[in-house]
Each structure stands twice: as structure tokens, then as C-alpha cells.
Amino acid sequence: MGYTLNTAQANQVLAALRKDYTVYAPKRFRNQGRYSATDVIRYDEVERWEDIVWDVKSDYPAKEVLTPIQQAIFYFTEDEYRESKGPKKPILVLARPCDINAQHVQAKIYAGNGGYTDLYYERMREMVKFALMECPGGDDTCFCVSMGTNKTDDYSLAVKFSEDGAQIQVTDDAFAPYFEGQPEADYTPAFVEENELKVTLPDLEDKEVRKALKNHPMWKEYNSRCISCGSCTVACSTCTCFTTRDIIYGDNPEVGERRRVTSSCQIAGFDQMAGQREFRSTAGDRMRYKVLHKFHDYKARFEDSHMCVGCGRCTHRCPELISISATLNKVSAAVDEIKAGQAQQ
């Protein structure tokens, strides 16, 4: 079923949906950007249709709804504990194809990795349905087509926004009642078929090439350029790393909560072990780890796709203007150089 709604009608549908669902979408937070008089666009509960930002990509990904930056996992008192409660209502997330595909990646890591299902992700994911936001084309940091994440059929609704309303496709019958009496009109979402930015992935199949790449001088550039702030991984649609922290309430160390808090492989100390030993002690090492994880290791383990969905948010948020696509080109050049060297031997 399809509908064409003006803004007032879209608000009626949103109000009806909000009775049964918590609806999340990208919203504009004025003057909350990194630089003054700039905004941040990030996910939040929406109450008004006009608050949904659809014409530009959000700075932060939809994953913030499913895997919040901070969440309580259990509360403890002396020798007892109680699990935190999951979402009370089902959740509807308005998201572009990159963000929806990113959840398939996150699901692999949280549910099934090592034969273990993460309760907190699972109970959330079960409650989430997606409303696809037809992507008007993204920006010059996007490369979803190169990563094969420009399309999805994992949605209950599809929405094409315009200045004065929206075209909507309802694919999940459970959502039909919310549209009762609204003007019907056929609509099928279109997907981005070409990005301005095209990325050729380096061929990292060969173990010897990877070993040589690990020690390649190309990573040294990032020792001086990257400030290890972690903005890229926080903005990443797929990064799942978190740490746990015990928060003690007041002066009684036996009462408190355990939290799960986002962490980042790019921040110094992430891989610190007992004895202060670190695996990756330079920004270049950490960059290499991230790049190989996104463009080799994940696929080697799960076999279906790369971890990166090409949303470009890491590039977009990097305060030092480091581009992931330019970095990949440098990796490709390094791999060519390594292979040429091997051929000569």
C-alpha cells in the first residue's frame, strides 16, 4: 500500500504511531556542533514530523538508538543484582539504507559471534522496526554503492520526504491501521545507484601481503595526523566496541550499577592489559587495526560482507580531515607495491 501525505497528515500518522511505538529519527540540535554556530544532527525521539532531518545525512548513526553510548546493564546491592529493563514499547527507527544494513553487521557481532548472543542487543533488536528513509543521494563522503549497502528490503515502511510532506510505502501489514483514511498513492522507494565517491578495495587475500602491509611505512603518516580522539568510531555505523564500568552510588561500595559505555580502538589505552602492555601504542597502529578490521578481518570471520557500510561518517566527523576513502587508496597503493616486490623475488 502507498500513501501521499502532506505535513499535517504525516503528523497525524506520526501521532498515531507514537501511541504504540517510540519513534526515532535524525533531529537537528542547534549550535551543538563541534564548532560554534554549527549544528549536530543525531538520533532522538521525534514528536513532530517537521523535526525529522531528511535532506542531509546525520552526523551520528542510527546505531545510537539500538546500542546507546551509555546503558545500564544491571543494578547491584550487596550479593543481589537485577537486570536493567529493555525498551518498554516497540521502536520504529527512520533510517537510510546504510544505517539499516549496518544493523545486520552489528547483529552478527552481538548475536552469534563466538556462539554467544548478547541479551541487551537481542532484547532491543526484537523491538525495532525500520522505516526506510529514501536516500536523496548522501554527500561526497558516501560510498555505499562500492560497499553494496545502498539497498535493503529490511523495512516495514519506506518514506520519501519532501518539503511539503511524504510518499510512504507500507510493506508490513501491522502498520496499515495507522494510515487508515489517508490519501492513497503508489510509491516504491528508489535506491542510490551511484555515489560521487567510488572506492576500490585493496586485495588483502594473501597472508604474506597482509604481513608486509602491517609493517608498511604508510601507517606512519597517521602518527602525526591522527589525534586518536575516536570521533571516527563513535560516528561509525557499525563499530560495536564497548567497555563496562561499575558505578557506585554514594559512599556504599556495595550498591550501584554496571554500565556499558561506548569505547574506541582509536583511543590510547583501549587495548591496555595488566602490566600496562599495549598491542597498538601509536596512532598509525590503531588506524591500521581499524582499517583492516573494517575491510578485511570482519569479512574473513563472517564471510558475507565487509564491516564498513560506506556511510562516510568517519570522514565527515574527523577533526583532522582524515578520509577513509583516501586511506583505502593508500592501502591499495601499498599493496601494489608489496605485490610488485614479491614478484621480483
Partner 1 sequence: MNHDINVKKTRLNCFRQSKVPGEFMLQMRVPGGMVDAKYLENVKHIAKTWGDGNFHFGTRQTFDIAGIKYENIPAVNEYLEQYIKEVDAELCDVDMDTVAHEPQPWDPKSGYPTIGARNITACIGNYHCICGNINTFELARKLEGIIFPSHYHIKINISGCPNDCNKAHMCDFGIIGVSKMTYHAERCIGCGACVRACEHGATRVLSLNEGIAKVDKDPCCCVGCGECVRACPTSAWTRSEKPLYRVILGGRTGRQTPRTGKMFLNWASEDVIIGVLKNWQKFSAWVMDYKPEYLHGGHLIDRAGYKKFKELILEGVELNPECLVAEDMFWHETEYRSNFNVKPIEQHHTAGPQA
**Minimum CB distance to partner 1, residue 228 (Å):** 9
**Minimum CB distance to partner 1, residue 270 (Å):** 9
- Between 35 and 116, whose beta carbon lies closer to partner 1? 35
- Kindly provide the residue ranges of all beta strands, DSSP E only, lying in 190-304, ordered along the sequence: 242-248, 255-262
208 CB neighbour count, 10 Å cutoff: 10
- Between 34 and 211, whose beta carbon lies closer to partner 1? 34
- Between 178 and 222, whose beta carbon lies closer to partner 1? 222
- Between 176 and 248, whose beta carbon lies closer to partner 1? 248
- Between 34 and 89, whose beta carbon lies closer to partner 1? 34
Q: What H or E segment, with its residue span, contains residue 22? A: strand 22-29
What residues does 76 pair with on adjacent strands? 81, 256
**Minimum CB distance to partner 1, residue 310 (Å):** 21
> Reading across the β-sheet that carries 22-29, which strands appear in turn?
2-6, 165-170, 157-162, 128-133, 91-95, 22-29, 40-45
- Residues forming contacts to partner 1 in the complex (CB under 8 A) are 29-37, 40, 42, 59-60, 68-70, 229-231, 234, 245, 247-248, 261-264, 267, 317, 319
**Minimum CB distance to partner 1, residue 229 (Å):** 5
Which runs of consecutive H residues, i.e. helices, occur in 81-220? 97-110, 119-125, 144-147, 207-214
Here the cell at position 61 is 548513526
**Minimum CB distance to partner 1, residue 61 (Å):** 12
Residue type, 160: K
Q: What is the DSSP letter of 190?
A: -
- Between 219 and 242, whose beta carbon lies closer to partner 1? 242
Q: Is 15 exposed, middle or buried (0-12, 13-18, 19+ CB in 10 A)?
A: middle
**Minimum CB distance to partner 1, residue 181 (Å):** 39
Spatial CA neighbour of 312 closest among 177, 180, 149: 149
Residue 14 CA to its chain's centroid (Å) = 24
Residues 6+ apart with CB under 8 A from 190: 134, 160
- Between 60 and 219, whose beta carbon lies closer to partner 1? 60
**Minimum CB distance to partner 1, residue 323 (Å):** 17
